[in-house]
Structure formats: C-alpha cells, structure tokens
Structure 1
Amino acid sequence: MGKMLTLGEIMLRLSTTVGERVASSNQFFAHYGGGEANVAISLANFGHTVAFASKIPENALGDGVKQHLQRYGVECRYLLRGGNRLGTYYVETGIGERAAQVVYDRKGSSFAEMTKSEWPTEMFEGIDIFHISGITPALSKNWQQTLIELVQAAKQAGAKISLDINFRGKLWTTDEAKQYLKQILPYVDFCSAGKLDAQVFMDIPAPDKETDDRYYYDQMNQLYPNIELFYGTHRKVISASHNILTGRLWHQGNYVVSQSHIIDPIIDRVGGGDAFAAGVLHGIANQSSDQELIAFATAASALKHTVHGDCNLFSATEINDFIKNGSGKIVR
C-alpha cells in the first residue's frame, strides 16, 4: 500500500431532488465534496494511508469538513484553518434528456484566497504519490504559481505526481488552461487525459483515419515523455440517468480497455471521475497488471454512480467482488 497526499479545495455541495430546479427548489441535500478530497476518501477506503491538504474556515462548516474526512480515515494534519468562508456549489440534478447543471459560489473562499503555500516543507517526506487536479490553478494566478512550487517540492522529495486535467470551463478559459498545462505537465508522472484534452490543450491533430485512443496517448507521450501512464474514460450518454462507461489506460506503450459498464439508472454522477482516478492510483500503488488496474478503476467509478454524494463509499474488497460477481446479483 502506498502513502499518498492529495491537495485541493473541498466545498459544501447543495443538490436538488430529481425534477427540481435550483431557482425554484425550497430544499437541498447537503454533502461535502471536491475532486481531490473525493480521491483521498476513495484511497482511504481502499486501505491506503492518505492525507488531504486544504484550507477551511474556523467555523461549524469547517468542523463538518474535518469530521467528514476523518469519518473515512483521511489524515487531516495538513487541513489548515482560517479565512472567511467555505466555498459552496449547487447541483441541479439531471434526468432524462436534461443534463445536470452546476452553479458555483466559491469566490472568496478560504482556499481560493491563499496567496502562497502555508504548509511545512516536510509535508512531502515519505509520500509516494502527490495527486492534484486542474481545478486548483483555475482559481487564481497565485494558485497557478503556488501549485508549480508544491509540485517541484514533491518531486524533490521523491514523490510521483498525479494530475487529473479536470478542465472546468466555468472557472477559466481554454487558452488559460492550455498555457498552464504547458508549465505543469513536464513534472507529471500519471495523467488523466483523453482525446479532447489531446486535441484542445496539446494541439494534437486528428489522424487521417479513425482510430482508438492509443493514437492520442502515443502522441501525448511524445510531447511529454516524462508521463509514464495516461488514463481516462469513454462515456456514452444515452440520457442523464443512463450511461455506458468504459475505461482506457496507456502505460509505457501498452494500451488496454476495460469492459463496458451499463449504468442505469444513475443515482449521482458527480465524483465518478474521482473514483476512477483513485482506482488507478490504487492499482499503481499495488503494482497491479494494466488490465487488473483498469478493470478495478472502471468498476469503482461505475459503483460510485449508484450512491448519493461526491465520494465513493466502497472498499477494495467490495469492488473486486463486484468485478467477480457481475452486476445486479444479491450478495448473501
């Protein structure tokens, strides 16, 4: 089992019930969530030692965040306290042909307002994998510089760097993300990316004839030979509540694909990508074969779609049993 650290913003999530809209809803379901925190919780559920670094206010909502993380066994020694508020986001639950919608209310949050690292340099000592996402540098120019410095410190301490590009068009522009990725990708060892990331952020042209994602991963690796492993999912959207999910993995030239999971109905899609990323990191830490790794990660993501909230609530044993037994069977 590996020792891991994730870093990012955790927020209060308020979700509508199915069939309600944010503007007209008179009640919301509350959860805590954020990409890197979700990854940390999954990794803890899988049996890894994992810490989460962030900053939250010194109030009841901040207390709730800490209790939420500790409930699942995530270490909170690098969970800073201070600042003015906890960021919030609203999820308008999709159904049928109507897609889910997200409304952010995160400006001025404790994490977003940080201007430099407030963590000790020894934070990275003994860390095997440092996981981040493209959401953090989208928050401010200060965070763009700070994240580079943190990644450099992690590399110097011997950690591998995991990046989920996780582009959020409501937080920054495509061009801003593109320019920043050119700065950070040379430090990355494991990267969540796919066809659109290759085309939009790395200017990789489409091939002359139709091909699988191997072509794009080969091309991305030529641009960034330091990245030894790429991963991503292909999602066929039948409706907001009916998807078909397939995982893809490129590892030092070897390309593998998972079985396809039919997810119908979807209870909650938010956090599915984070569960997938955590499944990949779990496989890396356990030195799983490429096929075992992608099977586990995709199954973890599929199961996440079946529970409410941001975080995956399944153990490694439960996911492996799901892979072995198939879907829909009663476990007695």
Structure 2
Amino acid sequence: MGKVLNFGELLLRICPDAEGNWLKENNLPFFVGGAELNVATALALWKIPSAYLTALPDNSLTEQLVSYVKGLAIDTTAIQYTGERVGLYYLHQGKDLKNAGVIYDRSGSSFATLQTGTINWDVVLKDVSWFHFSAICPAVSLAAAEVCLEALKEAAARNITISVDLNYRAKLWKYGKEPIDVLPDLVQYCDVVMGNLWAAEKMLGIPVPEGLAEADQKELYLEQAAVSSSALIARFPACKVVANTFRFDEQEGVKYYSTLFSEDELLVSKQYSAKNIINKVGSGDCYMAGLIYGFYQDHPAEEILEFATAAGFSKLFVAGDATTIEADQIKEKVRNYED
C-alpha cells in the first residue's frame, strides 16, 4: 500500500478565553489544525504512511509550520508554496466548530486562492493509494472547489481510493454556491463517505424525514441510517461504504455512537457517554482517521467501526485539534464510558 494523501487547508486556531482574560494576561493560546491535517496527524501517529497537500505562502512562518508538520512524521513534499497568507479561525476553548461562536478569517488565504492547472498531479499522487478530503475544502472558495474537483478526477484516473468527510460549515459557504450545487459533483468520485444524516441531506439531497431530530429516538436514527446510506450508494455508484456518526450534546453530558453501511448491511457501534469532556474540535476528524486506518489495513468491518467510534469519542478528551492517543490505547481509553 502507498501513502494516504490528505488534502485541505492548514489553519491556525486562536483560542481566546470566554472571560477575556487573555487581554490582561497578554496570553493567547493557539493550535495548528485543519480537518485534513488532523486526519493526517492521527494516521501518522498510528504508523500509517501519511502525507499532506495544502497551500501556504513562501515565508518564515510557513517554514516553522512545515517543520512542525514534518515533526509529526507527515510527508510534506506535496505542499504548494503560493499565495499570501495562512488561514485563521477563532474559537473559545471547548466550543464546537458548528457553534455560532466560531469566527473565520480565511478569505484570500493561500489555500482559498489556489488555482487549477498549477499542481503537478503526476508528482503529487505518486505512491499514493488513498486520497482524503472534506467538504470544508470546496466551502472555502470557488477556486478551492475547482481544485478539489481537479484533484478527484486525477486521483480517480489512477484508481486511488477516495474518501470524504461531509463537514458542513454554514459560515464558509459565502461565494454564491450552496453545498448541494457543489458536493454531488465531488462525491461521485468517492469510495468512502462519512458524515451524518443531516449533512447528507444538506449537501447531497438525501432526504431525512421531518421531525426526525426532534424525535430523539435511537431506533429511528438507525433505521434512517440504513435508508440514507442505501440511497447515497444508489445515487453515487463509486461509493462502497457510508459511515454516520451520532453525537448528542445533552444537559447530562455527551452521547456518541456510529453506523457503518456496506454491502446492504448496517453495522451499529457500541454507545459511549460522558458527563464532562475537554474539547469537541477534531472528534469527527479522528473518527475519519479511524475508518481509513481500518480499511487501509483491511480489517473486518465490525472492527473498523468499533475502532473509529472509540477514536472519535476519545478525541473529546484531548485539548488540541488532533489526537495524541496511540492506536493501541484507544479502546482502553474509552472502556469506562460504554453504556
């Protein structure tokens, strides 16, 4: 097997405390992240050959960032040096990216201004057997969406396995296109699709019954997971696997489980719950990495599902954007949270 190439924007997450003490203390924590870099970091940590494709300006800050990424055992040779700035976002520690509190500062970044026809795909895709991206990539700008489509066509032409995480970020779709206008053209090339029922509805037009979320019944969610997954595979024949995560933030804590649909069979993971967590950022990325980890090594489907679910849940207890938990420690970390 070759490398797993992760394509997306490297971001700096700036984390002011909710009380504003950072102003008095002159201390503003930050993390290096981005959905696809989080996946790349987890895979490298778990000893899967991991590579990263992004665009960064050619300056001293980039040198430090690339050195940091290399230090995570990630292959950085595919990185494109172009444009003027690194993307940023601001989020209070412990908050969720889907929370209204997130502030993006990504307009005009090197990734957002990346152009088609500028990447040597023969070089970038050499020795790559898996290509991963997320729905955040085409949300950043029309130019990024066009490069994303170019990348998928090139990867598919080389019979590279392609996966997508259907991350929906409402605050990013600001260039005149809706996800439903863009994502179907991209997902047609994907072998593995991960997300949730409502993301598939918003981005791919796979319908979900009205009132399903309000019903809050696991049995109904699982039934719909089978229906939606089957409909997605029927609409996008290249797709062989659909994974759906279910994370519910309730007054008494967080509840988490997931499903994996393949070959007309729906597998359901164990359910985990916790009263107190540290950080919601990157949980889905860690889950996605868990899927790739399992499929890359040709593990049985049930084993893949349980590892990915445990990985995604365990990330809720890690402060940074990417996991720091070794693969052989994942299941032990979550054992006491099984329902």
Note the aligned Cα RMSD (angstroms). Answer: 2.6
Question: In 1, distance between residues paired with 2:200 and 2:12?
Answer: 32
Residue in 2 aligned with 1:221? 233
Residue in 1 aligned with 2:192? 190
Change (3 A) 1:156 1:188: same
How big is each residue's C-alpha offset from its partner over 1:134-169, in whole Å with a ceiling of 9 and x where there is no partner?
Answer: 111112222222211111111111201111121110
How big is each residue's C-alpha offset from its partner over 1:91-123, in whole Å with a ceiling of 9 and x where there is no partner?
Answer: 12357xxx5721111112111111225332222
Question: In 2, distance between residues paired with 1:250 and 1:291?
Answer: 10
Q: Structure 1 residue 86: deviation in Å? A: 0.9
Residue in 2 aligned with 1:132? 133
Question: In 2, distance between residues paired with 1:142 and 1:25?
Answer: 40
Residue in 2 aligned with 1:262? 273
Q: Percent identity?
A: 28
**Consecutive unaligned residues in structure 2, runs of 5 or more:** 213-219
- Give the number of equivalent residue pairs: 323
Residue in 2 aligned with 1:15? 15
Change (3 A) 1:127 1:27: same
Q: Structure 1 residue 271: deviation in Å? A: 0.5
Q: TM-score with structure 2 length normalisation?
A: 0.87
Q: Structure 1 residue 247: deviation in Å? A: 1.7
Residue in 1 aligned with 2:215? none
Q: Structure 1 residue 311: deviation in Å? A: 0.6
1:159 counterpart letter in structure 2: I
1:194 counterpart letter in structure 2: N
Change (3 A) 1:290 1:255: same
**Consecutive unaligned residues in structure 1, runs of 5 or more:** none
Change (3 A) 1:22 1:107: farther
**Equivalent of 2:245 in 210, 233, 250:** 233
Change (3 A) 1:207 1:82: closer
Residue in 2 aligned with 1:327? 336
Residue pair 1:19, 1:93 contacting (<8 A) in 2 also:
no
Change (3 A) 1:231 1:284: same
Question: In 2, distance between residues paired with 1:296 and 1:89?
Answer: 30
1:305 alignment partner, SS class: helix
After the TM superposition, which residues 143-162 of structure 1 pair with which residues of structure 2 at under 5 Å, given as runs?
143-162=144-163
2:267 counterpart letter in structure 1: V
Question: In 1, distance between residues paired with 2:63 and 2:149?
Answer: 29
Confirm or deny that 1:106 pairs with 2:115: no
How big is each residue's C-alpha offset from its partner over 1:61-112, in whole Å with a ceiling of 9 and x where there is no partner?
Answer: 31232122112100010122232111111112357xxx57211111121111
Question: In 2, distance between residues paired with 1:39 and 1:57?
Answer: 22
